[in-house]
Amino acid sequence: NAGVTQTPKFRVLKTGQSMTLLCAQDMNHEYMYWYRQDPGMGLRLIHYSVGEGTTAKGEVPDGYNVSRLKKQNFLLGLESAAPSQTSVYFCASSRDRVESPLHFGNGTRLTVT
Amino acid sequence: AQSVAQPEDQVNVAEGNPLTVKCTYSVSGNPYLFWYVQYPNRGLQFLLKYITGDNLVKGSYGFEAEFNKSQTSFHLKKPSALVSDSALYFCAVRDNVGYQKVTFGTGTKLQVIP
């Protein structure tokens, strides 16, 4: 019963490098989300998806891209990392019902130097 | 636009005492409210929710929350705090339209003192 799995758990990048964060869920959820968590700012939505093949921008999408080629996977890409993208990134999923809670992965801690 | 406020960055309570973590919200329609808990180096975990019905909702680990429509509040409570309750708590509201956007508060750190 894995739930939401994120890889990697930790990563250090140099400014300008690229990387992809992987998120997989095994609950057959329609909705998937990428959040970033920064001290004192709570969680901010980067991008989200309401189904396979669909993606949309959240509150802070600049510098990130996403893809959802398969229903169970949601990928977050950083094309050219910047120090401002140092953060903890969380993936979440939910059913397409307003009463459904979000299920979160354990996060990826990214440092950009 | 919907919003959530958690007015306290940190709440300290002695073990065995009752605890309250405050949350107020602003929405244009019916509120769909949630509480989540985050332990160190972990993702958020769902605690409880208010959708409709009784104003007092019960959730995991002995937590409950009181919905007050007139005060637009959804405070998290527990009758007797445990040291293991020490964590970061987030209140959230979910929209009932579109992609059902979830808005989180900034979080309240609960410290239970032995």
Using the CB atoms, write b or e for A72-90: b if 16+ within 10 Å.
bbbbbebeebeeebbbbbb
Find chain B residues with C-beta within 8 A of A56's C-beta: 99
Mean pLDDT of chain B: 94
| A chain contacts of residue B91, beta-carbon cutoff 8 Å | none
B43, B49, B101: residue with CB nearest A104:
B43
Strand partners, A1: none
Contacting residues of A for B89, CB less than 8 Å apart: none
How far apart are the C-alpha atoms of A49 and A47, rounded to whole Å? 7
The residue to which tokens 């459904």 are assigned: A100
CB B43 within 8 A of CB A37: no
Residues in chain B closer than 8 A to A41 (CB atoms): 106
- B9 to chain A: which residues are within 8 Å by CB? 40
pLDDT at residue A1, as a whole number: 65
Residue spans of chain B under pLDDT 70: none
- Helix (H) / strand (E) element for B69: namely none
Q: Is B96 on the interface with A (CB under 8 A)?
A: yes
Q: Is B103 within 8 Å of B92 (Cβ atoms)? A: yes
d(CA A16, CA A14): 6
**CB-count burial class (<10 Å; 0-12, 13-18, 19+) for A63:** middle
B50–chain A Cβ distance below 8 A for any pair: no
Contact B109, B8 (CB under 8 A): no
pLDDT, residue A60, reads: 95
Residues 6+ apart with CB under 8 A from A54: A68
Instruction: Please give the C-alpha separations between residue B63 and each of A60, B21, B30, B56, B58, in angstroms, as whole numbers.
Output: 32, 11, 23, 11, 6
B30 interfaces chain A, CB cutoff of 8 Å: no
Distance (Å) from the alpha carbon of A46 to chain B's nearest alpha carbon: 12
Closest Cβ opposite residue B99 in set A56, A90, A105: A56
pLDDT score at A96:
83
Whether the Cβ atoms of residue A71 and residue A55 lie closer than 8 Å to each other: no
Chain A, residues 2-41, CB within 8 A of chain B, namely 4, 31, 33, 40-41
Q: How far is CA B69 from CA A39, A93, B25, B31, B93, in A?
A: 30, 28, 10, 9, 14
Give the SS3 label for residue A44.
Answer: strand
Q: Does B51 touch chain A (CB under 8 A)?
A: yes
SS3 content of chain B, % helix, strand, coil (to 5): 5, 50, 45
B-proximal residues of A, 64-93, CB under 8 Å:
90, 92
pLDDT by 10s per residue, chain A, length 113: 679 999 999 999 999 999 999 999 999 999 999 999 998 888 999 999 999 999 999 999 999 999 999 999 999 999 999 999 999 999 999 998 888 999 999 999 999 99
Give the other-Cβ count within 10 Å of A66's Cβ. 23
Residues of A with Cβ-Cβ distance to B36 under 8 angstroms: 101-102, 104
* DSSP assignment of A88-102: EEEEEEE-SSTTPPP
